[in-house]
Structures are given as C-alpha cells and as structure tokens.
Amino acid sequence: MNMFKIKRFENGIRMVYENIPYVKSVAFGLWIASGSRNERSENNGISHFIEHMLFKGTKDKTAQEIAAAIDGIGGQLNGFTGKECTCYYTRTLDEHLELAVEVIADMFFNSRMSKKDMEIERLVINEEINMYEDNPEDLVHDVLSSAIWKGNPLGFGILGTEENLEAFTRKDIKEYMKVHYNPSNIVIAVAGSFNENALFDLVGKYFGSWSSLFTEPSVYDVPDFKPVFSIKEKDTEQMHICIGLEGIEHGSDDIYPLLAINNVLGGGMSSRLFQKIREQKGLVYAIYSYPSSYKNAGIFTIYAGMKPDNVETVLKLISNEIQTLKDKGLEEEELVKSKEQLKGGFIIGLEGTSSRMNAIGKSELLLGHILTPDEVLEKVNNITIEDVKRVISRIFDLSKVGFAAIGKSKKDLDYKKYLLVQ
C-alpha cells in the first residue's frame, strides 16, 4: 500500500504527504488545530466565522476571482470547521497544484476581512444557523453535546450564536488568528500525484518563511461527562432523540472494538436496532448509533426519530438492546462479520485523494502520528471477543446516560425510567 511521509519545516509547520502515482489528481489541505473547542462562550463561533471570511477576498483577489481560479481548472476549493480543527482544501489535476497552493496561501495570509464582507457573511451564517434550527434531526446531536459537556468548550456548537456573530470585530478575528493560526498548530497534507522535490519547493515558497510570536500548540482540558437530560420543545411531527454514553478518546486502541460493537448494535441497515425497531416493528424511520472521538474525550450516541406516541416503546426497546448487549455481548460470528465490514469500509474510504489527504492530515494534527493502512487493518483483525466484552462494560454504563430530545414531548413522560439504572 502507498506510504505517507512527513517533513518538518524550520518554522514548525509539519507536512504529511502521500504520493499516489497512478492518479492524475492531487488534494492539498491546510489544517489548523483550531475549532469551537478553542473558544470561550463569548467568542463561540469565531473559528467558523474566520473560515467563511477567508473565502471573501484578499488584497489582490475578490471572492469571485478566488472561486473562478479553481472553478476555471475544473477543481474544487472548500473549507470546514470542526470542534478541534479547521481545514481549507483543494482538489485539482496534478498539473495545477501550484495554482491551488498559491490560492490557499493567498487566502490564509492576505485575507481582506473588510467590514462590508463581514456584514454580508454575518447574514449568511445567520441563515446557516436558522437552517440548522429548522433541522431537528441534526440539531438534537448538538443539544446532547451541549448538555453532557455543559461548561466545557467541547459542548459548544460550531456555528456559534447570532448574538456572538453580531459582536465580532475585525480586531477580534485578528487577535484570535494571531494566537491559534500559528506554525505549531498547522499541518499541510497532500495526497495524489506530484513530484516530491517540486512539492517541497512549492510549500517552502508559500509557507516556509512564515513566522509567529506564538508557538504553543492547542491544549484542551478533560471535560466532565454529565448525565443530563435535555428536552427542547418544538412543534415538529416527529420526536427526535439522542442517547449519549461516555465514549473513547481519539487515539485509544479501544476505538476498534467499539467500532465493531457499533456495527452490530446500530451502525447500519443489518444492525440490531435497525432490524428490530424499524424493520420488524416499523416504529421509526431512522435509527442508528455512532462513536465520536476527541482529544481526551469521546461519546457514543444512539439516535432515533419517531412519532411522539412511540417514544416510550422505542426507549424500552433501545434499553432492552443495550441490556442484551451487556448480558450476552457479541457472537463470534457477529464479530467476524463486523470486522469484515470495518475493513471493507476503511479500504473503500481510502480510494480517493481527498479521503487520503483528510485521513493523514487530521491524524497528524490531532494525534501527532499516523497509522498506515496495514497497521489499521492489523488492529481490526486483532479485535477479540475479550476486547469486545471489556469495551461493552466500559461504555454501556446505564447509571451514566445523557439524553436529548426535540419535539412535542408528553408532559408526564419520565425518560429516565426507561434509560437509567436506578
């Protein structure tokens, strides 16, 4: 399999790169260890606001010219903000790599941040917040995070609040970027077809001479998981619920048994939750589970959407499935099948240059190391029934459950009765 390499520039920037010679495209990503977890309540949303502003024009290019530069060569240019990172990336034909790097460097170093652009982008992000509020299936996951990690930035929403958005100034943005957008917090990730020496020259030319007074990488407090129940009344046809259990932190090998367990419990259409609650009983349209991992924290989430009249029955069935999992674990045959699912999904997910760039960039940024595909496959192959039992007893602790719901809830419904072990 293809192997990645790492180069460190004198100013502290790390570059991870993987040459895939049989493709004609290349993905270039600029990763910053800065997201909503780096914020305070009064500036929550600033990381996402900055991401938007970097696309709004530079000293030499308008927003339209930035977009046209990449559109004109049939490439892609985009960005995203998460809880622990922000990424700006391109995907182009290999012959256009220099243009891609030049455009991202220009956005990164020379963003105009004009007052007019800031006013326009406030309106755009307000619409994004409104759109999100109108989508309870997505929103309920944030309601859960903010409840169980209340008081810690890990519980903050990425979009921030309309009040904060109105208050951000150019000075606030510059101050935040000065601290967090520093070389120690930066990883450049490249995957696809390129000449190695030409890549070094290119990144050196656009990023190698950058220096900053700030050299501290991002660090995070360990958040306290609070078993809180948060119900948000909303006039919706469905009731949307999320059950949260304390999960596994980024980088822990326990994530592999948990992923195997997740496949069986709620990770797909053949999972227990989907088959029993949707397929056999028709009580929900959507039901699934998934683990999320962060630095020194994690959460395991079960989501379901249903008619308000079905909530009690669905909660009973979910807690029955959790209890069955605790009592009986997985069958050997289920584990074998789940491991094959994991391996298949992992390998198929690596087949694009963008997904490879994402995998190596995020891993280097958040963990400081990258596992090769062979190493990941070995960890999946090595999952044992004993590992599964240990992780089930660690995660599925029904005395410590977080819960969030959005919809028209029954006033007398005691959610805790169905979930918490008394």
Residue positions annotated with a catalytic role: 51
Q: Tell me which residue has tokens 């969030």.
A: 404
CA geometry: angle 32, 35, 40, nearest 5 deg: 135
What angle separates helix 115-133 from helix 136-148, to the nearest 10 degrees?
100
Q: What is the DSSP string of 46-104?
A: HHHHHHHHTTSBBSS-BHHHHHHHHHTTT-EEEEEE-SS-EEEEEEEEGGGHHHHHHHH
Contact present, 90 and 72 (Cβ < 8 Å): no
Separation of alpha carbons 132 and 142, rounded Å: 10
Contact present, 46 and 179 (Cβ < 8 Å): no
Closest CA to 33 of 53, 12, 17: 12
Residue 57 is encoded by which pair of tokens? 């024009």
Q: Where are the alpha helices (DSSP H) in 329-384?
A: 332-349, 353-367, 373-381
Q: How many other C-beta atoms are found inside a 10 Å radius of the C-beta of residue 268?
A: 16
The answer for residues whose C-beta is within 8 angstroms of residue 202's C-beta and 6 or more apart is 97, 98, 101
Q: Where are the alpha helices (DSSP H) in 266-331?
A: 272-273, 311-328
Q: What is the DSSP letter of 155?
A: G
